[in-house]
Amino acid sequence: MSEPRAFTTPSTPRYSPVVKTSMAFVVIALISLVFADISITTLDPWSEMERMAWGVATPDFTAVTDIVMVIIQTIAFALCGVALGAVGGFLLAQVFHIGPIRWGCAGVRAIHELFWALIFLQMLGLTPLTGVLAIAIPYAGICAKVYAETLEEAELPALAALPYGTGIISGFFYAHLPDVWVHIKNYTSYRFECGLRSSTVLGFVGLPTLGFYLETAFSEGNYSEAAALLIIFYILIATLRFWMRPKLVGLYVLVAPFLLGGGAAIDMANIVRFLTVDIVPAPLRSGSITAVETWENTKDWAGMLLFDQALPGMVATLLLTQIALVVTGVLALMLFPLISKKFFGRVPRLIGHVFLVVLRSTPEFILAYIFLQLWGPSMLPAIVALSLHNGAIIGHLVGRFSDEIRLRSDSPRGLNLYGFEILPRVYGQFLAFLFYRWEVIMRETAILGILGIATFGFYVDSALADIRLDRVMFLIGIMVFFNVAVDALSRHIRSRLRLSTQAGQA
């Protein structure tokens, strides 16, 4: 910017920071691809796919035993978890300006519901409380952040006119909260939809929700039953606004705790042992705390975990995350025209909507599980699952955004319309959504390890299988650190590129 260059035409085009950042991410993903493990290891993926397709074509609703109870319990876990998380998040939002509270929330939401479930399974056993807490704790962390940001955005003209001597609580409920109530309500109902997905997925670790029966059906090859369960799940999500009425929420939340089903009794001694013995690093547990040797051993223990497990797990997680992120982006850019009024008429859009709704409603964990059955353990099923799910979410948001663009009447059509008119206008929003999902994709990538892909979750799951809970906690701690770091990096890039979008939308 030093010398005037008004009269010289640059011979090469200069790229904007947005384009440069995008290119950098594509290059990183391509390099990651070189190191990634992508292969199809099953002997005959096509015949398996054929059997699955046949299952989808012939869903068998009679095969599912106690289907009503399964649905009720899936909803009950989501209700209890989200209600507890939302109330906890709301209270935390009031003190969110306090540093340690903010960091605590970031740490808590960096751990996937399934990891929480695995931790509580060790502590509380297979009890309803395990499922409820596995949803409530990370959701409290997420809700606290979004509620706090929402409350901060409130306009407060009424606060100045309050009578002298009005209490803080009365002032908050009258002059502050009502202004943002609609946003909080909408976000919480979105969270409940997420909660239904979480509740379903928790079945994969043994809780009595839809996921439990899905896993059984899949592993036994009963694809007709699996298809029926998935269809029930989609109907549940699609009819949400008909049965989740604002006036009934209170009643639902009151009844839900009694519908969680029984479970093993919670053993207090077990909890105490978990907190005081199990999670203490093994060398510290067995050795004398004053002996130099004990600390040497602990150092070796931490070094071993760090270099033999955390590091390879983290590298694989990062590789997979970066690839999935870029594929997600490409897919989103390909998918969003399907639902955009700028490109298609009513009927094709309707089909596009159904397609995107199915993809984004299916938890990525279940998608990954299905592709893993087809192709065997490698990064491929994870990449495809993550990209389809997240690509559909972002495609939906970008498609809706593109409807608001006003075009001149003689604008081009087809690919020219896409490339010259629409894409440049939606690209900023698109990148903002994508960077919001970055942290989510990474959290999901880590958890897919428990399906057998060599990401972080794989090492956590192996340590769990050996009942080495000290290792589990150590590894999860490192993962929290990485996740919070990616979140911070994403925020940094968004603010540098001046990308903004409404919080919590993506």
Partner 1 sequence: MLFKLSNENLGYDGGAVLHGISIEISKGERVALIGESGAGKSTLLSVLQDRHGGNTALIPQQPGLVRSLSVFHNVYMGSLHRHGAAYNILNLVWPRKSEIVRIRPIVERLGLGDKLFEPAGELSGGQQQRTAIARAILQGGDAVLGDEPVSAADNHQSRVILAALAETFPTVVLAMHDIDLALEFSTRIIGIKDGGIALDAPAAELTRSGLDFLYRQ
Residues of this chain that bind partner 1 (CB under 8 A): 157-158, 160-167, 169-171, 173-175, 178-179, 181-182
Nearest CB to partner 1, comparing residues 100 and 167: 167
Instruction: Report the SS3 class of residue 362.
Output: coil
Nearest CB to partner 1, comparing residues 179 and 267: 179
Closest distance between partner 1 and the C-beta of residue 167, in Å? 5
Q: Return d(Cα 341, Cα 344) in angstroms, integer.
A: 6
Which residues, at least 6 apart from 296, have a Cβ–Cβ distance to it below 8 Å? none
Q: Return d(Cα 238, Cα 246) in angstroms, integer.
A: 17
Nearest CB to partner 1, comparing residues 174 and 420: 174
Nearest CB to partner 1, comparing residues 100 and 246: 246
Nearest CB to partner 1, comparing residues 101 and 154: 154
Q: Backbone phi, then psi, for 7, in 5-degree steps?
A: -100, -5
Nearest CB to partner 1, comparing residues 186 and 500: 186
- Residue 328 identity (one-letter amino acid): T
Q: Other CB atoms closer than 10 Å to residue 265's CB: what's the count? A: 10
Nearest CB to partner 1, comparing residues 174 and 307: 174
Closest distance between partner 1 and the C-beta of residue 162, in Å? 6
Closest distance between partner 1 and the C-beta of residue 163, in Å? 4
Closest distance between partner 1 and the C-beta of residue 189, in Å? 17
Q: Other CB atoms closer than 10 Å to residue 51's CB: what's the count? A: 12
Nearest CB to partner 1, comparing residues 6 and 169: 169
Q: Which of 149, 156, 161 is nearest to 179 (CA)?
A: 156
471-505 burial, b for 16+ CB within 10 Å, e for fewer?
bbbbbbebbbebbbebbeebeebbeebebebeebe
Question: How much of the chain is in helix, strand and coil states, percent to nearest 5?
Answer: 75, 0, 25
Number of H helices, E strands in the chain: 23, 0
Q: Return d(Cα 138, Cα 225) in angstroms, integer.
A: 31
Closest distance between partner 1 and the C-beta of residue 176, in Å? 9
Nearest CB to partner 1, comparing residues 33 and 154: 154
Nearest CB to partner 1, comparing residues 251 and 304: 251
Closest distance between partner 1 and the C-beta of residue 404, in Å? 23
Closest distance between partner 1 and the C-beta of residue 144, in Å? 21
Instruction: Report the SS3 class of residue 143.
Output: helix
Closest distance between partner 1 and the C-beta of residue 475, in Å? 45
Instruction: Report the SS3 class of residue 203.
Output: helix
CA atoms 318, 319, 321, 325: torsion sign: positive
Which residues, at least 6 apart from 363, have a Cβ–Cβ distance to it below 8 Å? 197, 198, 200, 201, 389
- 188, 176 in Cβ contact below 8 A? no
Closest distance between partner 1 and the C-beta of residue 177, in Å? 9
Closest distance between partner 1 and the C-beta of residue 145, in Å? 23
Q: Angle between the 311-335 and 469-496 helix axes, to the nearest 10 degrees?
A: 40
- 272, 422 in Cβ contact below 8 A? no
Closest distance between partner 1 and the C-beta of residue 179, in Å? 6
- 260, 77 in Cβ contact below 8 A? yes
